[in-house]
Every structure is written in structure tokens, then in C-alpha cells.
Amino acid sequence: MDSLNNKEVSADSQLSRAKCWILLIGSNQLVLEKVKEFLSKNYEADVLDLTFPDNLREILKYDVLVLVGRIALSYLAKAESIVDCQIPIIGYELKTNTDERLRARLHGVISFVESSFEEVELVLAIETVIQLVNLRPLQREKGANFKKELLAAIKHLLEVQPSFNVEELCRYMKLSHSTLYRKVQETFEKSPSRLIAFCKLQQAGIMLAERDELNITEIAYACGFSSSTYLARQFKKVHGITPKQFRKAGLSYTQFVRVIE
């Protein structure tokens, strides 16, 4: 029966697994690695060991979180602090009573599973979650114009609100943090925050070359930098020269660096 179920899951979800990222969260390293070994056959699976400090922002690239073991329930308080991340959570071997399960559901756990042969139950739960929240890669990749739409959104926000951040970009594009992170990473191989910073720097470079009537401080503010000093520091860090040196050289920005477009 387990073998049959496994075959059905494989046939149903061959495509959905291709780029589905799973994060296993717990404190028992042996159990985490055992589950990861099974899931890695079909998904991109990572482990977050709660016995070590970790950076929560990395969580945004994952499609599904799996809480492994009772101690992982403590992670819900941290997961709750990630505003609007909209990442579905599965409880695995939580060994909870009725009240604990109710509290877990209130914190976002949508499915509870126990260990099974070749983790068939967990795989079925993950596949069900993927379908419920509409995360299949083929559906995600239907947005062939994502790159164009994203750059247009960044350009618009630069014009109306130069100091915008990732949260404001998410709201403008009507995407969750996790979806935006994944799509930007796949398209540009950068995090959204790094892409925004680079686009602001790019806009500053273009204005330095083309807007002689503006001084460097005015350009810094127009591109979302808090001061000309901060712009100079970031510009030199990326390009090796200061905005003043760049402007004096008389080059166009597109001659100087490859522009994202």
C-alpha cells in the first residue's frame, strides 16, 4: 500500500517538486538529517537546527516549513514575527495534545503528520499544501513578464518614493515576501534587497552622467540614499570610484557598467 501511495505521489507531483524548497526546523540533528535524506530525492530540502542561532530572513525563500519534534513548536513565536510571509507550516512528529494542536493551528500549522515508511505521509502533506496554496512551479513560472514587471515597479517606486524598501515593493506587486524572494533570486540571482540597492545605485549613476544641473546631494536624495556621503560610500564599494570621480571622467553609465534591464 505504501509503495502504491509512493508511486501515486511521484506521478502526480513530478513537476511540482522540481523547484519546491522545504525547510526542516528542529533540534534533533539525526532526525532532521534522516527526513532531509528522504525529501532531498524530490525537493530542495534544508535544515535549520534550533540549537544554533540562525538568521530568520533566509526563511523567506522556502515554500513549506516543516516543524520536526515538540521543541520545534517554540519556533512558531519566531515565525510569527515574519510579517505576511505566508509560508505554510507542517507539523511532523510533534507529539502534541489537543490543546497544543489547537494553539499550533492558530499559529499557522495547517497539517500534522507522523513518521511513515519512506516518509510517504509527509510527502503527501507537502504535495497537498503545494496545491492548496498554488505554489506549483509551472504556475509560478507562467509570469514570463515578471522581470519586466519588477523593473517597472522599481522604476515607479524610485520616482514616487525613492526610499522604498522590500516590504513596499511586495505591497506594490501584490506578492508575499517568500514569493518575491524566490522569483527575484531565480531571475537575477540576487535577494530583493540587493536588487533594490543596485537599482538605486544604477539610477544614481545614470543621473550623475545625464543630469548636470543636479548636484550629488540632490541625486542621492532622488535615488533613495540618506546622504551624499552614503551614496559615495556605496558607489565606491561597487564601482571602485566616487560619484565625483565618475562625473569628472565624463562617461555614460552604460559605458561604465552593465545596466540591469
Least confident span in 40-54, 122-136, 184-198, 228-242:
122-136
Which one, of 123, 31, 111, lies nearest residue 71 by Cα? 31
| Whether pLDDT at 165 is above 70 | yes
For 169-223, the DSSP string reads: HHHHHT--HHHHHHHHHHHHSS-HHHHHHHHHHHHHHHHHHH-TTS-HHHHHHHT
Which one, of 9, 4, 19, 7, lies nearest residue 140 by Cα? 19
Higher pLDDT, 256 or 108: 108
With cut-offs at 50, 70 and 90, classify the pLDDT of residue 136. very low
| Whether pLDDT at 117 is above 50 | yes
Angle at 32 between CA 132 and CA 61, to 5 degrees: 45
What average pLDDT does range 206-234 have in this prediction?
A: 92
Q: Model pTM greater than 0.85? A: no
Most distant CA pair in the chain: distance in Å? Answer: 75
- What is the separation, in whole angstroms, between the first and last Cα of the chain? 52
pLDDT tens digits along 192-208: 999 999 899 989 999 99
Question: What pLDDT is stored for residue 2 in this prediction?
Answer: 42
CA distances from 145 to 76, 82, 93, 133, 182 (A): 35, 28, 41, 22, 15
Rounded to an integer, what is the distance from CA 162 to the centroid of its chain? Answer: 22
Least confident span in 3-12, 95-104, 133-142:
3-12
Question: What pLDDT is stored for residue 62 in this prediction?
Answer: 79
Question: What pLDDT is stored for residue 221 in this prediction?
Answer: 94
**Most confident among 40-54, 83-97, 213-227, 234-248 (mean pLDDT):** 213-227
pLDDT tens digits along 24-67: 988 888 999 999 998 988 888 888 888 765 555 466 677 888 98
179 contact partners, CB below 8 Å, separation of at least 6: 86, 140
Does residue 223 contact residue 203 with C-beta atoms inside 8 Å? yes
For 77-93, the DSSP string reads: HHHHTSTT----EEEES
What average pLDDT does range 176-181 have in this prediction?
A: 85
Supply 243's cell numbers: 560619484
Let me know if 71 is exposed, middle or buried by CB neighbors in 10 A (0-12, 13-18, 19+).
Answer: middle
Amino acid identity at 241:
I
Question: What pLDDT is stored for residue 220 in this prediction?
Answer: 93
Does residue 44 contact residue 38 with C-beta atoms inside 8 Å? no
Least confident span in 50-59, 118-127, 245-254:
50-59
| Cα separation, 195 vs 158, whole angstroms | 13
Question: What pLDDT is stored for residue 35 in this prediction?
Answer: 92
| Whether pLDDT at 255 is above 60 | no
What average pLDDT does range 89-95 have in this prediction?
A: 87
Computed over every residue of the chain, the mean pLDDT equals 78
Question: What pLDDT is stored for residue 15 in this prediction?
Answer: 39
Residues comprising the chain, all counted: 261
| Cα separation, 74 vs 150, whole angstroms | 36
Amino acid identity at 174:
K
Q: Give percent above pLDDT 90 in the chain.
A: 17
The conformation of residue 258, written as its DSSP 8-state character, comes to P
3-class DSSP assignment, residue 168: helix
| Cα separation, 189 vs 55, whole angstroms | 19
Amino acid identity at 223:
C
Higher pLDDT, 20 or 124: 124
| Whether pLDDT at 219 is above 90 | yes
